[in-house]
Amino acid sequence: MNRSQLLTKVAGRVENLQVMRYRPGQQYQAHWDFFDPEYFKKQPEVLGRLTHRRNRLLTMLFYLASSAEGGQTAFPMAYGAPRPADPEDCSSWLQVPAKRGKAVLFYNLHADGRLDRASNHAGCK
């Protein structure tokens, strides 16, 4: 298989699209998009995928609407910060504003396959 085939035949390597809609006051608490093998020790179907390097490499979020207040995607553990004590308070975290038509892409894994804990992210109120 040549490189162009690898780039155009990704169906078996990509998860289904997920669409989330937040109403005013709603949020998505801080979380990771990778699957940590420590949490799935009793779920062999998940561990099997992880063993064959099928963890989530990256996440891309597309913003379908702008928000004058709230709606940011925030990264509480960016720049080596510890896991936040309050998973709902986004005020001091690195933030990407929600702007219609824009997107943010970030890696969940390091190049060597290790989990990137700095990819912890949240949708702010």
Residue 8 has pLDDT above 80, yes or no: no
**3-state class (DSSP) for residue 112:** coil
> What distance in Å separates the CA atoms of residue 105 and residue 20, rounded to the nearest whole number?
16
Cα(112)–Cα(92) distance, rounded to whole angstroms? Answer: 30
d(CA 75, CA 125): 14
pLDDT range class, residue 88, cuts 50, 70, 90 = confident
Residue ranges covered by each domain of the chain: 27-123
This prediction has a pTM of: 0.79
Does residue 62 carry a pLDDT above 90? yes
